[in-house]
Amino acid sequence: MVKTSRIPGYHKLSVSERIDKLRELANLTEEDLELLRKAVPLPIDTADRMIENVVGILGIPLGIATNFVINKKEYLIPMAIEEPSVVAAASNAAKMTRAGGGIMAEATDPLMIAQIQLVNVPSPYTAKYVILSRKRELIDVANSTNPVLIKVGGGVRDVEVRVIESPAGPMVITHLIVDVRDAMGANTVNTMAEAVAPLIEKWTGGKVYLRILSNLADRRLVRAWTKVPKEALGGEDVVDGVVYAWAFAAGDPYRAATHNKGIMNGVIAVALATGQDTRALEAGAHAYAARNGRYEPLTVWEKDHDGNLVGYLEMPMAVGIIGGAVKVNPVAKLSLKILGVQTAKELAEIMGAVGLAQNLAALRALATEGIQKGHMKLHARQLAITAGATGEEVDLVVEEMLKRGEIRIDVAKEILESIRSKK
Ligand code: MEV
């Protein structure tokens, strides 16, 4: 656990000063720091073993969101993302939630679903009956594929059978509900599905085609909640603005898609930093958002009796801290170390909390000054630094560019020269 995630002025430090501060707060070693300072932190031969036809490595900035208190614990949040403003917005919203005690989050048990597709059965309900009546055998065979998982307390928890109608006729779909503990679980459950498929064919006389996990991980959810004091948000008017912004998303799928994109800005940035399967998370989130037959926002915002803002998030969160890219990518390992997470459940809770904070930041900005002002300020800052400004000069150049309403590199250079000539 970090001592505190509250680091006023962190954004004003240089990269190397930020690394030093991180070392102090997150107990990093010299080796960890070396990794952060490296231009290419993933060795090319590691990359070559991860995917096929490797020719290089793509760099994505890794930032640290500050101010997070989740389940009463302080967290510094590593976020890998190419989009400006996201890390700043998360830190800002976290600061507002902090005023009300932070964000509470709880993830369910890590239950993944594997699907086995059975077709060509003359009587689907007879097949369903047969499969369910031999559930125990199915579970034993599935569990026998992964003794390590069983040893750490995971394994198949249940078997469900659904008869679905499809354009190719009725199908009997068996679900293995598997507790995958600290893994994301895709490999685990795919192996199990493949192992039990021959039994299902033998018992029913049908033909199995697909044996694969479902990314609609609706048994592996995270719920996050926060209460933001109205004063911390900027007054009751802003509370109303955020509630109206949410209601817009609840009433209109065109808005809900953008609303959820904002949540995923936070979720996926942490996912990328910690080596998760980001596509699985996206697929799960959007399928869950559409579970009621209409695409809906993944959060709810409401005003309590005292005029404070209350936020709630609920979404699938299939993440792991063992296996996959987590195991081989040194930056992913370091990100987990910075977070100090002990279980996949804890990581899911952090990611839910970040999603909620990210959503709050977007809605607050959209309902008040709009998001462009913040974007322009950050852009101006980047230009000032590119123009060569250092220390106090950065703020002076930014201020002057914003005052003039001219955010360009030539203007940044001109202002910098004039500041220096006056010294
Ligand atoms: C931009 O990346 C994300 C937002 O569009 C999210 C939202 O509109 O809620 C600002």
Residue nearest to atom 9 of ligand 1 (CA): 259
High-pLDDT (> 70) share of the chain, % = 100
Distance of CA 253 from the midpoint of ligand 1 (Å):
14
Ligand 1 atom index nearest CA of 259: 9
pLDDT tens digits along 5-37: 999 999 989 899 999 999 999 999 999 999 999
Confidence of residue 414 (pLDDT cuts 50, 70, 90): very high
Q: How far apart are the first and last CA of the chain?
A: 45
CA dist 276 and 318 (Å) reads 9
pLDDT beyond 90 at 226: yes
pLDDT tens digits along 277-311: 999 999 999 999 999 999 999 999 999 999 999 99
DSSP 395-411: HHHHHHHHHHT---HHH
Out of 83, 86, 92, 261, mutate this one to test ligand 1's pocket (max ligand atoms within 8 Å of CB): namely 261
Distance of CA 258 from the midpoint of ligand 1 (Å):
6
In what order do the strands lie in the sheet containing 62-70?
73-80, 62-70, 103-107, 221-228, 309-316, 299-303
Does 261 sit in the ligand 1 pocket, CB within 6 Å?
yes
pLDDT tens digits along 301-359: 999 999 999 999 999 999 999 988 888 999 999 999 999 999 999 999 999 999 999 99
Confidence of residue 397 (pLDDT cuts 50, 70, 90): very high
- Give the pLDDT score at 391: 85
Does 258 sit in the ligand 1 pocket, CB within 6 Å?
yes
pLDDT beyond 90 at 372: no
User: Is pTM beyond 0.75 here?
Assistant: yes
Tokens read off for 355: 């999603």
Which three-class secondary structure state does DSSP give residue 268?
A: helix
Which 8-state DSSP code applies to residue 11? G
pLDDT beyond 80 at 1: no
CA dist 255 and 258 (Å) reads 5
**Of 67, 121, 127, which Cα lies nearest the Cα of 97?**
67
pLDDT beyond 90 at 374: no
**Of 218, 113, 108, which Cα lies nearest the Cα of 176?**
113
Does 371 sit in the ligand 1 pocket, CB within 6 Å?
yes
Does 366 sit in the ligand 1 pocket, CB within 6 Å?
yes
Active site residues: 83, 261, 277, 375
- Residue 133, class by beta-carbon neighbours within 10 Å (0-12 exposed, 13-18 middle, 19+ buried)? exposed
Distances from the Cα of 91 to the Cα of 12, 73, 260, angstroms: 14, 15, 19
What are the two backbone dihedrals, phi and then psi, of residue 220, each rounded to the nearest 5 degrees? -125, 80
- Give the pLDDT score at 347: 98
Distances from the Cα of 240 to the Cα of 16, 174, 280, 300, angstroms: 41, 46, 34, 13
Distances from the Cα of 332 to the Cα of 59, 98, 212, 310, angstroms: 13, 26, 26, 32
User: Do the Cβ atoms of 407 and 401 come closer than 8 Å?
Assistant: yes
Average pLDDT value for the chain? 96
Residue carrying structure tokens 């231009």: 39
- Give the pLDDT score at 378: 85
Strands 111-119 and 171-179: antiparallel
Out of 259, 268, 301, mutate this one to test ligand 1's pocket (max ligand atoms within 8 Å of CB): namely 259
Distance of CA 366 from the midpoint of ligand 1 (Å):
8
- Give the pLDDT score at 25: 93
- Give the pLDDT score at 240: 98
Which amino acid, 47? A
pLDDT beyond 90 at 121: yes
CA dist 411 and 250 (Å) reads 43
Which 8-state DSSP code applies to residue 68? E
Distance of CA 217 from the midpoint of ligand 1 (Å):
24
Ligand 1 atom index nearest CA of 86: 2
Does 64 sit in the ligand 1 pocket, CB within 6 Å?
no
Distance of CA 334 from the midpoint of ligand 1 (Å):
28
pLDDT beyond 80 at 66: yes
Give the distance, in angstroms, between the CA of residue 71 and the centroid of all CA atoms in the same chain: 17
CA dist 28 and 19 (Å) reads 10
Does 255 sit in the ligand 1 pocket, CB within 6 Å?
no
